[in-house]
Amino acid sequence: MQLYWGTKHQPLAMSTHHQEEKNKFQLERIALFSDAVFAISITLLVIEIKVPVIPSGTENFSEEFNHAILHMVPEFLGFFISFIVIGQYWKAHHTIFGYLKDYDRKLISLNTWFLLSIVCMPFTTGLVSRFMQFQPYMYYVINVIVTGLIQVLLWRYVVKHKEFQSEPIPQGIIKFKYASAWVVVIFFLLSLPVSLLFGGAIGRMFLVTVFIFTILNRRYYDRKYKIGEKV
């Protein structure tokens, strides 16, 4: 026996509310899982940096220690760059899921591929930190570029499917996120010929320009569209 109360449409309304709560719960699970992947990947970056082994009784310990730390500069540089890159990708991912109220299988697939490229980054960072040759650096750059391109696809999919959005996404934020992703992709791509022509060290230092242009890009869109502090 079906028990009705209020209007005859109320059970349907309750069913719709239940579905919305279910979608919200499932989205939270996806976001939490994604956050865990980001956190683990960033943690693995620093785990790849090994403490130098220098016996405490070594003669001229200070000199040996300073030499070992200096030798690890490429590892620290690789860690710093990848930490910032993964952090930027996490911020973009956080913004994307902040606008979602629903999802489908393709969205989950895109998100899974995006996370796959993120978890590969500690490995490719380890390669580029230990070898100054062009080939390891190329693998690292490909990893970052693929991650950026998948992020663009994920963002475009959310923008296209307005029925998934909890609220309309402002045009300024859409343009800013596209521009931010392409800045990373383009400058990492440009660093390949720079590294090939001028050496691995110069190619890596060239990546500092990515962060400079990222800051300038943010200021431009904030000034033009007042995008605020939520992106």
What's the burial of 18, exposed, middle or buried (CB within 10 Å: 0-12/13-18/19+)?
exposed
% of the chain at pLDDT higher than 90: 37
User: What's the pLDDT score for residue 3?
Assistant: 43
Return d(Cα 201, Cα 184) in angstroms, integer.
19
CB 96 within 8 A of CB 31: no
Q: What is the pLDDT of residues 98-150, one digit of tens each?
A: 999 888 999 999 999 999 999 999 999 998 888 888 898 999 999 999 999 99
Distance CA 93, CA 96 (A): 5
Does the pLDDT value for residue 34 go beyond 90?
A: yes
DSSP three-state, residue 59: coil
Neighbours of 40 (CB within 10 A): 14
